[in-house]
Amino acid sequence: MVIEVGPALEMLLTPTNLLIILIAVPIGMVAGSIPGFTGTNTVALALPLTIPLNAETAIILMAAIYVGANYGGAIPAVLINTPGTTGAAATVLDAYPMTRNGEAAKALGISILASVVGGLLAAFALLVLIQPIADIAFLFGRPEFFVLALFGLVAVGVALGGNIRKGLIAGIFGLLLAAMSADPTTAQRRLDFGFFGLYDAVPFVPIIIGVFAISELFYLINQERVSRGDGDGPDITSYDGIIDGFKYVISRPIQVIRAVSIGTVVGALPGAGVSVANFISWIIAKNSSKDPDSFGEGNPDGVIASETSNNAVTAGALIPTLTLGIPGSGTTAVMLGALLLHGVQPGPRLLDNFGTEATAIMLSLLIANVVLLAFAFLISKYIVRVVLLPTRWLVPGILVLTIVGAFALRENMFDAGLMILFGFVGFLMREHDYPLVPLVLAVILGPIAEAAFLRSMLISSGEYGIFFESTVTRILWVLIVFALVWKPLSTRLKPYTPSIIS
């Protein structure tokens, strides 16, 4: 691996590349803010546009869109409880309650700076630590992925469920939903109810939009405005609230660094990516907090955890893409396609043969994040006004946007119907205290977990011992047991403190 910063900067700092970053970041932001229209979709749309460009400019264009889209997903998450991208799914947990409490601008400010700082630090980390992190990613084979997926689900289910069983039920329900599509090894139909839309894979984007956004509409229509704030304070429509958010992020360096580390490492694991990193980061932030109960109720640290990690993933996901030729996410898979399109052969030799180009791509993330900060700051004052609109105008608009968003992914109306169905399921779950996040995470992780399970079984000729052989799996099993036992045990062992009620 050759890091050539000087020549790379020379290559990067051309008027064309800078102009491309300047245009691509806002485009990514707008696209990312549309529910259902993922960063991968936007980058894929840009792929044909890169044909006349050279390889590094093509990837710089895509990386800038990716950075913009990853932040853009936070905008509807903060304002209308709708994650624009899967990476912002954990953002809604605390950002939207902040909005409802009249702190929309602060939440937006936190999401902006957390995203930018996450992206910047991860890009630096990428430059310095690319090789060691790639070595860690190498430790994760199929059995490790399966146990990691289980750990993720158990940790989320336990942390979010007021009742642990309800959290686990939500997660396992999601795993079974994800296993409804055709058998991955034989392609035989399973439980698709005769719908071709379920045959190939259970689409998780309509499910995410359904359980979060559609279920929220049932509540929103019964109130005047999204925000419960009075709307007169500087927090709502001026830059003051946004700057408050910036200050809050600056005052939480430990939380930021922790989320950056998680985002970079998880991003480097092929197949895990942005959808998983934000949840893991949020859970770890909650568990390390002195006030874990406030997470999910509008704790700004939850927004930092999610937003910092999901932008750090952009850099992390480039690690396996550049070092191994294995994309860390759907978006980097498209980027890899762009490299192939330009005659650059992906794989370990890529860095030896194209060290300067690879370094220029990594450095472009730094510039893209600076552009993101400026652009997001400038427009945030205006977009935050959405929460002051009467819900009688907002609700129909959100419904139309979510329908188009669900339709956009596969251009299939079945997905729109599925989204509505999961809106009802989400409402039912919320009414009876079943957390939504384990369900969403399980639907995302389900196919990864099942594929990892099946491959492990093939490798071991059906011996379950393969899931306990390596050090990594053993550590993960210990963590699973710890997660399952710790919460009930800590509740029982909590010393009795008499209430001081006169």
Partner 1 sequence: MTSIPTHEDGEQALSTAYVLISRLLFPALCLLLVVLYVEETYGDLAWRSLRYPYFVGALLTILVGSVVIEEVWTILRTKYTGTLTNDLRNVWDEWNKSIGIAVLMILYVALIEVVGFIISSFVIMLAIMYLAGERNWKAMIAITVVFLTCVYVLFVYGLDLVPPEGPLGI
Q: Is 186 one of the binding residues for partner 1 (CB under 8 A)?
A: yes
Of 365, 324, 361, 362, residue with least CA distance to 342: 361
Q: What is the token pair recorded at 128?
A: 């310095």
State the minimum distance, in angstroms, from the CB of residue 154 to partner 1: 11
State CA 186 to chain mean position distance: 31
Instruction: Please give the helix or strand (H or E) that residue 471 lies within, else none.
Output: helix 471-493
Instruction: Please give the helix or strand (H or E) that residue 386 lies within, else none.
Output: none
Q: What is the token pair recorded at 232?
A: 């007169």
Q: Is 499 one of the binding residues for partner 1 (CB under 8 A)?
A: no
Residue 127: how many other CB atoms lie within 10 Å:
17
Q: Indicate which single residue of 140, 145, 279, 453 sits in contact with partner 1 (rule: CB under 8 A).
A: 453
Query: How many whole angstroms separate alpha carbon 256 and alpha carbon 244?
Result: 16
Q: Indicate which single residue of 429, 440, 448, 466 sits in contact with partner 1 (rule: CB under 8 A).
A: 429
Compose the 394-413 pattern: x for residues touching partner 1 by CB under 8 A, - for all others.
-xxx-xxx-xx--xx--x-x
Compose the 136-155 pattern: x for residues touching partner 1 by CB under 8 A, - for all others.
--------------------
**Span 6-35, contacts to partner 1 by CB under 8 A:** 31, 34
**Span 466-495, contacts to partner 1 by CB under 8 A:** none
Q: Is 416 one of the binding residues for partner 1 (CB under 8 A)?
A: yes
Residue span binding partner 1 (CB under 8 A) among the ranges 17-25, 54-62, 452-460, 475-483? 452-460
Q: Is 445 one of the binding residues for partner 1 (CB under 8 A)?
A: no
The answer to whether the beta carbons of residues 419 and 406 sit under 8 Å apart is: yes
Of 220, 372, 225, residue with least CA distance to 307: 372
The answer to whether the beta carbons of residues 88 and 48 sit under 8 Å apart is: no
Question: Which CB atom, from 392 or from 474, has the smaller least distance to partner 1?
Answer: 392
Q: Is 423 one of the binding residues for partner 1 (CB under 8 A)?
A: yes
The answer to whether the beta carbons of residues 288 and 262 sit under 8 Å apart is: no
Question: Which CB atom, from 52 or from 462, has the smaller least distance to partner 1?
Answer: 462
| Strand ranges (E), 63-183 | none
Q: What is the token pair recorded at 113?
A: 């700076």
∠443-315-94 over CA atoms, to 5°?
50
State the minimum distance, in angstroms, from the CB of residue 431 to partner 1: 6
**Span 37-96, contacts to partner 1 by CB under 8 A:** 37, 41-42, 45
**How many residues sit close enough to partner 1 to count as binding (CB under 8 A)?**
66
Q: Indicate which single residue of 7, 162, 392, 468 sits in contact with partner 1 (rule: CB under 8 A).
A: 392
Question: Which CB atom, from 150 or from 272, has the smaller least distance to partner 1?
Answer: 150
Instruction: Please give the helix or strand (H or E) that residue 233 lies within, else none.
Output: none
Query: How many whole angstroms separate alpha carbon 329 and alpha carbon 316?
Result: 10
State the minimum distance, in angstroms, from the CB of residue 417 to partner 1: 5
Q: Which residue has the tokens 């290559």?
A: 11
Q: What are phi and psi of 34, to 5 degrees?
A: -90, 115
Q: Indicate which single residue of 183, 200, 297, 352 sits in contact with partner 1 (rule: CB under 8 A).
A: 183
Longest dimension (CA), the chain: 77
Question: Which CB atom, from 124 or from 414, has the smaller least distance to partner 1?
Answer: 414
Q: Indicate which single residue of 125, 386, 457, 483 sits in contact with partner 1 (rule: CB under 8 A).
A: 457
Q: What is the token pair recorded at 386?
A: 């959405």
Query: How many whole angstroms separate alpha carbon 371 and alpha carbon 18?
Result: 10
Question: Which CB atom, from 125 or from 476, has the smaller least distance to partner 1?
Answer: 476
Count the residues in the chain.
502
State the minimum distance, in angstroms, from the CB of residue 399 to partner 1: 7
Query: How many whole angstroms separate alpha carbon 329 and alpha carbon 170?
Result: 25
The amino acid at 187: A
State the minimum distance, in angstroms, from the CB of residue 441 to partner 1: 14
Q: Is 219 one of the binding residues for partner 1 (CB under 8 A)?
A: yes
Residues that bind partner 1 (CB under 8 A): 31, 34, 37, 41-42, 45, 163, 165-166, 168-169, 172-173, 175-177, 179-180, 183, 185-186, 188-191, 214, 217-219, 221-222, 390-393, 395-397, 399-401, 403-404, 407-408, 411, 413, 416-417, 420, 423-425, 427-434, 450, 453-454, 457, 462
